[in-house]
Structure 1
Amino acid sequence: MSLKIMNLKRARAWHSYARAVVQLIHADLVVFRHFVFDGIVDTVITTVLLVGTMTYIMPLLGTVKEYGPFVGLGAIATSCLFNMYGIVTILVSDIRGEQIILYRLSLPVPSALVFVARAVVSACKVAVNGLVTALFGIGILIVGGRFSLEYFSLGKFLLFSVFLFIFVGFFTILMGSLVKNLDRIGVVWTRMIYPLWFLGGAQFSWQVLYSFSPFLAYLSLANPFLYLMEGIHAATLNPEHYLNFWMCLGMMMLFTVGCGFLGIRRLKKQLDWV
């Protein structure tokens, strides 16, 4: 009987935790909705320019026609990754400044869940950019007859997109723990994010890198961004030219857990909230 009572108390506690986390997420999303329209406009502009240029202009300079779809579909992950900048800036400005987050940490919920809620909100934010990029990017490719549905798997695409957004959400937590102050955020982006993105399948596939240097190709397998790009391409283009879809999905999940665990642990230490 006592065991049943303990289990009931635990269930009630986790139910209250879940309600608190949902309320935290809802509060942040209410604020975010006021900026959604501007974010959509910015994403549409960058998507049209990037995909349009790579699809219709660059082939005139000698690039293969397949490069447009490659960049256009990879832009879905790219838009999410580069929109982290603003999210991380807000997080760092709070942690290194007013530390309003300390109020949330004082709530009667496990402190880790406060950061999980923050990661979920970040995932929702980048999801808007990612979905808009997908809509307009694929639309531009279809209008020009540059996109074939032969290899496109809607199920895999949607599944991978969801976990891509979640990964980016937790990666923002890790990035927030690595940036010492706002003056250093540009340095971190230039020295870490941009190289990881550039060498992580955004400009060329893993097979292309392997044909150039097997050593660099195997070394790049430690790059989490590689699995984002290869996975989204494997779900939409010829999968024979990319890493296995399910491997990419599995690795992305592992990196999500790793980034979340490390980021939350570092931030709790930095805030003296262990």
Structure 2
Amino acid sequence: MKLVSFLHSGAPRWGVVDGNRILAAPASLPSLRGALREHGTAVLSQATEPIDPGAVTALPPIPDAEKVICVGLNYADHIAETGRDKPSHPVIFTRFADSLVGDHAPLIAPRESVTFDFEGELAVVIGKEGRRIPVEAALDHVLGYSILNDGSIREFQHQTHQFTPGKNFDASGAFGPAIATPDELGDLSGHRITTTLNGEVVQDSDLGQLVFGVADLISRISTWTTLRPGDVIATGTPGGIGAAREPKLWMFPGDRVEVSINGIGTLSNPIVEDDDHSTAA
């Protein structure tokens, strides 16, 4: 099963991909996150209204995520290219949900910096609430898997010891195109994660190469925060980032970046200029 969120006739909806159509949930349940929290995963069976995918605008699969928890330094090749030691605990930071756009929506290259970098990642979406979840039970809390491009403004990321400024520019990251339930993927090992920039492969790895696996991350993170349906964990990026290359490889207006994971799909976004000229009143 693949789950999507979208705008239809200007209103937010969600549904299930069914071949060449979408089966939408009732309009009275506009938020997948809200529906899961109120009704549990049984609510997925209520997605029965056929809708033409050509009549919708894609949103992030969880557009109103309460928590987007990101993991850094979680592939051996990425750790090596940064020159850092392998972490003994996951490196954690957060993104704001409103910094993320959906599939095919533009990513904005901010005018404050040219150091706009790509980071293709596997995203885990939580389907069942839990706190202090043991590793052996952690995968029972997974609703499914998606793709996240943790677009990063490196100049701002490295201004402080905290990553937050460089990870949260408006429309700097993308999330989608769908949530694939675990039965769609099976064992994550062997599934390729690939990022391309203007059609050229810039990242290529295997989900089995995660230093801290999905179950381990869920268990560790739930030690200090309750994980609830609709929360998102971005599991880190493999090697090949633009900042680690010589010469550096940044994203600019006119570019297109795509992240693919077999079994989930491809998240595709153009890069556009920052045309927001607003100033404080």
Q: TM-score, normalised by structure 2?
A: 0.29
Query: Which of the pair has more CA radius of gyration?
Result: 1
Q: Which has the higher helix share?
A: 1
**Greater share of strand:** 2
